[in-house]
Structure 1
Amino acid sequence: MRKFHIMGIEGVGMSALARLLLAEGHGVTGCDLAPGAKARVLGVPVHQGHSPEHLGDADTLVVPTPIPLDHPEVEGARARGLKVLRRMELLKDLLGEKPSLGVTGTHGKTTTTGMLASILLAAGLDPWVLLGGELSLLPGNARYGRGPRLAEVDESDPLFREVAVGVAVVTNLEADHVAPQGVMAPNYHPSFAALKEAMRGFLERAGVVVLPAEDPLLLGLSQGLPRRLFGRGGALWAEGVERLPLGSRFHLVYEGEDLGPVELKVPGAHNVQNALAAGLAALSFGVGPEAIREGLSRFPGVGRRFQRLGEVRGALVVDDYAHHPTEVRATLEAARGLGRRVRVLFQPHRILRTEELWEAFAEALTLADEVVVLPVYTAGERGDAEGLARRIAERLSALGREARFLGKEEALAYARAHLGPEDLWLTMGAGDVNRLGERLVHEG
C-alpha cells in the first residue's frame, strides 16, 4: 500500500480522492489553508497551511490544479524523491484499474454523473464513484465499490485529455474555463481552440463516446470515433415529455423501441437531456432498461442543483450552482415553471470568467423578475469584485429588469424584508451564496 499526502484536502475533489484512497487501504495525510469539516470526517492527520515539513513518510504527493509546480511543498517532495501527481493524473491511474465511465462537459456533468451512479446502484453493480457534488445516495460525493469506476472528469483541468475510460459521456462544450488572451492560469485553457483540442484527446482515448445528436461542435470533435448519440436523431430519446412543477415524466425510446416510463424528480428540459446521456451511457455499458428506469426515477438530485432549502413565510427558497450564462438561463427556465415570482440572489464566480461573460450573465438573468447581484466570489483571483457585479446589475436595469447591487449581509436583509408568499427566492452561483439561502430559511 502507498502513502499519499494530499494538498488542499478540504476541496471537494481532493477530499473525495482521499476517501477513495483510504477505502483501498492506502495511507493518507493532508494539508489545507483552512482545514475543516471534510478533513475531520476523513479522520486523517491534516496540517494547516502548506510546507515541505508536512510530507512526513509519504511516498506520493497529490497536487490540486491551481497549485504551481514550483511551490515549496512540491519542490520539497521532488527533492526527497517522492512521486508528484496532479489531481487529474491520480484520477487517470485510478480509473485505469477497472472498467470505467467518465462524464465531462461545460454544463450538467455533475447531475449526469449522479444519474449514472443511481443507475449503476439500481443494477447492483457496486460502483466506485467520484462526483463533483453531494449526492444522498452516496456517502457524500464519493463511494468505494468493487464494481465499475465512474467519475466526473473536469474539463476545466487541461490534463483531462490524458484520462482514458471505457465509456466517455460529453454533455456539451462552451468556452468556459478559457483564459482571456495573454493571461495564463493553471486551471484555465489558454484558448477555446486549446480546450477543443483537449476534448478531442479525451474522446480519442475512450472505448465509446456518448454525446448529443444535435450538437454540431461535439459531432465534429468526435468525427471518426466510435460514438453513440442521444436526443432527436440519436439512438435514445425522450417521447411525450410532460413538464411537472419539480420534475418531468416521459418515455425512453431506444432505437425505436419503447423502454417504458421515467419520472424525474429534478425539473427542467436540461435534466431530461442529462437523463438521456446517463441512460445511453448505461446501455452502452451493458445495463438493462429496468435498472435505467429505476435509477433515473430514484435519482434525488445533487446538492446545490435546484436544491429546495425550505420555505419561510410562504416563500420557497431554492439554491442552484449555476455559474455560467447557459446554466443560469436553464435554471431560470426551470424556476419559471413553478408559477411563482422568481427573485434571485446572484453571486458571479471568478474574476476572469465574469470579465469575459458579464454581458451574457445580464442577458440570461433577464428571465428573473428581480435580481440582487452580490460581489464576485473571486476564488483567489485578483480584480474588482464589486465593480464587475455592479456592471451586471446596471446592465439588467438598462434591460428593464428590477436589479440592484448589494453586499452579502445587505442582500440577506433585503430578502428578509421582501419575502412574499408567492415568491421563489433563488440563490445562484458556485461560491458561498448558498449560505444566504440557508440563513434565510433557518433564521427567518
Structure 2
Amino acid sequence: MRKAHIMGIEGVGMSALARLLMAEGVAVTGCDLAPGPRARRLGVPVHHGHDPGHLADEDTLVVPTPVPPDHPEVVEARKRGLRVLRRMELLAHFLAQRPSAGVTGTHGKTTTTGMLAAILLEAGLDPWVFLGGELALLPGNARPGRGPRVAEVDESDPLFREVRVSVAVATNLEADHVAPRGERAPNYHESLEALKEAMRGFLAGAKTVVVPAMDPGLLALTEGLPRRLFGPGGEVWAEAVDLSPSGASFRLVHREGPLGEVHLRVPGRHNVHNALAAALAALALGASPEAISRGLSRFPGVGRRFERVGEVGGAWVVDDYAHHPTEVQATLEAALLSGRRVRVFFQPHRLLRTQELWEAFAQALKGAHEVVVLPVYTAGERGRESPEALSDRIAKRLEDLGRPARRMDKEEALAYARATARPEDLLLFMGAGDVTLLARRLVHEG
C-alpha cells in the first residue's frame, strides 16, 4: 500500500487507522460528511462529503462498516482497480503482523483496551494501540509502537469473526447490534445466534481466550477453547473492593497469590470488571504484576466514559458514551455514588436499536432523579417510527414508572439544563451521538 483514501475519516476508528497507516509511511487522503477536529489533527487532505471525484492517485480505498458496496465512491474505486478494504479487514491485517490482543464485547471494550494499553506502557513494552476513543496516555486514539499490538475489535461489524489475534478478550455479550426481524444493515448481525457464531469465530482463532468466569453465555460459547477466566471463580479476581464517586480500590489477586493494590481513577463496579479483564490479558502478554497494578492505577479513563467536562451553576456536568441499557444502568449507578441529584439527558442511538430496546432503556433509567429524553440519533438509519416518537415512548414509560421525565429537542434541553442547574446536581449527558456537544456547550457557553 502506497497511498490510501479513507472514507469517514472523522470517525474515531477510521481516524485511528489513518494515523497508524501514516506511521508506516503510507500517504493518506480522506473524506467525511462532517470533517472535524480528528480529521484536522491528522494534517492530511480531507474532502467534504463523499464523491467518486475524490479519488486521485490512491491505490487503496478504506471503507467504514456502514458504507454499502454499491456506494458510488466504492464502485468507482473498483472500476479503477483500487484495492478496497473494509475497516475490519485493515485492522485484521495490522493485528496479524505481531503478537497481539483484541478486546471485544457489548460493553467495556474501549475502557478495557485502554487499561491494557496503560499496563503495557507501564511495562515498557512499547505497544501499538488502536482504540475506539481518546486516551490521554496516547496521541489520541492510536499509538504506533514496536511491541505487542492491542486493539479494540468492534463486534458490531460481522467481519470481526475473521480477525486473528494472539489473545482474544471478550468482556461480555448481549443482544446489541442485532437487526430487528426482517431488517438488514451492514453493521448489524442478522440474529443473536449470528452474533454468537461471529463471536465464537473470533475467539476460536486466538491462542488464548480471556472471558469472565461468571458469564454463563460466554462460558458455553468458549467451551473447548484455550481460555483463561477472570472474576470470582477464575484465575484473577478482586478483593476488598471499595467504590467511591471518583474511582475504586481493590486488591488484585491471582490464584497463586496477591498481584498488588489497585486504585482506579474511574468509578463504578463495571470498571473493576474491565480492570480484571485487562489484568489477565496483560499477564498473557508477559506483563509483570507490578506493571499491572501501576498501569491500572495510572489509567486516566477514556474520553466520553464518565468524563467530567466541567461545572455550571455549581452542578457537575458529566459526559458518557453509554448507549445500551446495561451500559446506561452501570453509568447511572456510578453517578449515584456521588450523592448528588442525578439528572440524565439521554440521547438514544440508532433507530433499529431503540425500536428493540426502548423498554429496557426506560428500566435502566428509572433510578435517575429526572430524565430528559432527546430525539434518537439515527446515524443515518431509517425505521418504522420517527426519532421523536421513539423518544416520546421512552419518556412516557418512565413517567409510568414514577420517574419525572420529558422529551425535548437538543436546544430546549440545553436551555432547560442551563436554567435549572443547581449546586447539588450531577447533569449526566448520555449517548453515542452528538449529545456530547450539548455537555460541552453547557459548560463553555455558561
| Aligned mates of 1:39, 1:266 — CA distance in 2 | 28
1:54 paired residue number: 54
2:191 paired residue number: 191
SS for the counterpart of 1:113 is helix
SS for the counterpart of 1:141 is strand
Return 340-349 or 51-60, whichever deviates more: 51-60
SS for the counterpart of 1:165 is coil
1:204 paired residue number: 204
1:385 paired residue number: 387
Normalised by the size of structure 1, how large is the TM-score?
0.99
1:148 paired residue number: 148
2:397 paired residue number: 395
SS for the counterpart of 2:132 is coil
Q: CA deviation at 1:21?
A: 0.3
After TM superposition, the structure 1 = structure 2 runs for residues 177-326 of structure 1, keeping only pairs within 5 Å, are 177-326=177-326
In structure 1, give the amino acid aligned to 2:403: R
1:69 paired residue number: 69
SS for the counterpart of 2:155 is coil
In structure 1, give the amino acid aligned to 2:293: R
| Aligned mates of 1:339, 1:256 — CA distance in 2 | 38
Q: CA deviation at 1:256?
A: 4.1
Return 311-320 or 398-407, whichever deviates more: 311-320
SS for the counterpart of 1:234 is coil
Q: CA deviation at 1:50?
A: 2.1
* Pick aligned residue for 1:430 from 425, 429, 432: 432
SS for the counterpart of 1:133 is strand
| Aligned mates of 1:385, 1:231 — CA distance in 2 | 39
2:84 paired residue number: 84
The C-alpha deviation readout for 1:406-437, integer Å capped at 9, x for no partner, is 11111111111211111111001111111111
Matched, 1:415 2:417: yes
Matched, 1:406 2:408: yes
Normalised by the size of structure 2, how large is the TM-score?
0.98
In structure 2, give the amino acid aligned to 1:83: R
SS for the counterpart of 1:131 is strand
The C-alpha deviation readout for 1:213-266, integer Å capped at 9, x for no partner, is 000110011110000000000000001101122101110000140111100000
Return 231-240 or 432-441, whichever deviates more: 432-441
1:16 paired residue number: 16
| Aligned mates of 1:125, 1:291 — CA distance in 2 | 10
C-alpha contact 2:7 2:32 (8 A) present in aligned 1:
yes
Q: CA deviation at 1:48?
A: 2.1
Matched, 1:173 2:186: no
Q: CA deviation at 1:31?
A: 1.6
In structure 2, give the amino acid aligned to 1:67: V
| Aligned mates of 1:34, 1:241 — CA distance in 2 | 43
| Aligned mates of 1:228, 1:172 — CA distance in 2 | 14
Return 411-420 or 217-226, whichever deviates more: 411-420
| Aligned mates of 1:4, 1:421 — CA distance in 2 | 50
C-alpha contact 2:32 2:46 (8 A) present in aligned 1:
yes
| Aligned mates of 2:299, 2:365 — CA distance in 1 | 28
Q: Provide the aligned C-alpha RMSD in A.
A: 0.9
Q: CA deviation at 1:80?
A: 1.7
Following TM superposition, the consecutive aligned residue runs of length 4 or more in structure 1 with deviations greater than 6 angstroms are none
The C-alpha deviation readout for 1:63-100, integer Å capped at 9, x for no partner, is 11111111121111112221111100000001111111
Q: CA deviation at 1:41?
A: 1.3
SS for the counterpart of 1:134 is strand
| Aligned mates of 2:86, 2:358 — CA distance in 1 | 31
| Aligned mates of 2:117, 2:377 — CA distance in 1 | 30
SS for the counterpart of 1:5 is strand
Q: CA deviation at 1:134?
A: 0.6
1:339 paired residue number: 339
Segments of structure 2 that go 5 or more residues without pairing to the other structure are none
| Aligned mates of 2:312, 2:11 — CA distance in 1 | 31
Q: CA deviation at 1:49?
A: 2.3
The C-alpha deviation readout for 1:251-285, integer Å capped at 9, x for no partner, is 00001401111000000000000000000000011
The C-alpha deviation readout for 1:95-138, integer Å capped at 9, x for no partner, is 11111110000000000000001001001111110100010111
| Aligned mates of 1:275, 1:229 — CA distance in 2 | 13
SS for the counterpart of 1:25 is coil
In structure 2, give the amino acid aligned to 1:222: T
Matched, 1:132 2:132: yes
| Aligned mates of 2:65, 2:53 — CA distance in 1 | 21
In structure 1, give the amino acid aligned to 2:392: R
| Aligned mates of 2:320, 2:36 — CA distance in 1 | 23
**Number of equivalent positions:** 444
In structure 1, give the amino acid aligned to 2:424: E
The C-alpha deviation readout for 1:325-374, integer Å capped at 9, x for no partner, is 00010011111111111101011001000000000000010010100111
Percent same amino acid among aligned pairs? Answer: 74
SS for the counterpart of 2:115 is helix
In structure 2, give the amino acid aligned to 1:92: A
C-alpha contact 2:312 2:418 (8 A) present in aligned 1:
no
Q: CA deviation at 1:51?
A: 2.5
SS for the counterpart of 1:155 is coil
1:121 paired residue number: 121
| Aligned mates of 1:342, 1:47 — CA distance in 2 | 41
SS for the counterpart of 2:134 is coil
| Aligned mates of 1:311, 1:60 — CA distance in 2 | 45
| Aligned mates of 2:420, 2:49 — CA distance in 1 | 42
In structure 2, give the amino acid aligned to 1:422: E
